[in-house]
Structure 1
Amino acid sequence: MDDAGIRVSVRLFASLREAAGAGRVELRLPAATPVGAVWSHLPDEVRRHGLPEGVRYALNHEWTLPGAPLRDGDEVALVLPVSGG
């Protein structure tokens, strides 16, 4: 990818998916953006209520930390904690 950045796909679940009206959002980000920074690039309707407590990140189908750098073509999933018993 050129200096214009990278493209990543963000999968959304539960209330985030409902807010976006879709299960996936495509983003163009600066190279080496950390996984945790994806939140600030999501549409306003998704971010409206703030980052949910306990959100976990998966990068290309593996759990990861928010500081992991993204590469072109990566898929990030924002997974909310499951409640109930």
Structure 2
Amino acid sequence: MAEIRVTVRLFASLREAAGTGSLDMRLPPATPVGAVWSHLPDALRAGAPPEGLRYALNHVWTLPGAPLREGDEVALVLPVSGG
């Protein structure tokens, strides 16, 4: 089965844990954006995706079910807390 190449952008604690702001990944064609979490290295995805995790596909907010295509860029954005 052919694979597609995508870039995954990481922010906040994900970026810190990875030691980088992006990962180049190979995934099955039409993988849903929300499934990217399950393909991250084990050290980054300890457990289920955090509540409130948002996804951007090619710089546009998107739903987890959006299919990925060759060359796409996915951003994983964690919720921000503050006070």
Q: TM-score, normalised by structure 2?
A: 0.94
Which residue in the other structure is 1:27 paired with?
Answer: 25
Aligned-pair Cα RMSD in Å: 1.0
User: After the TM superposition, which segments of 4 or more aligned residues of structure 1 sit over 2 Å from their partners?
Assistant: none
Letter in structure 2 aligned against 1:77: A
Q: Percent same amino acid at aligned positions?
A: 78
In 2: Cα distance, 1:4 partner to 1:32 partner: 11
Other-structure match for 1:54: 52
In structure 1, the residue matched to 2:63 is 65
- Corresponding residue for 2:11? 13
The answer for the alignment partner of 1:81 in structure 2 is: 79
How many residues are matched?
83
Cα distance between partner residues in 2 of 1:24 and 1:40: 16
More deviation, 56-65/40-49: 40-49
Once the 2 structures are TM-superposed, how far is the Cα of residue 50 of structure 1 from its aligned partner? Answer: 3.5
Q: Structure 2 unaligned runs (5+)? A: none
Q: CA deviation at 1:49?
A: 4.7
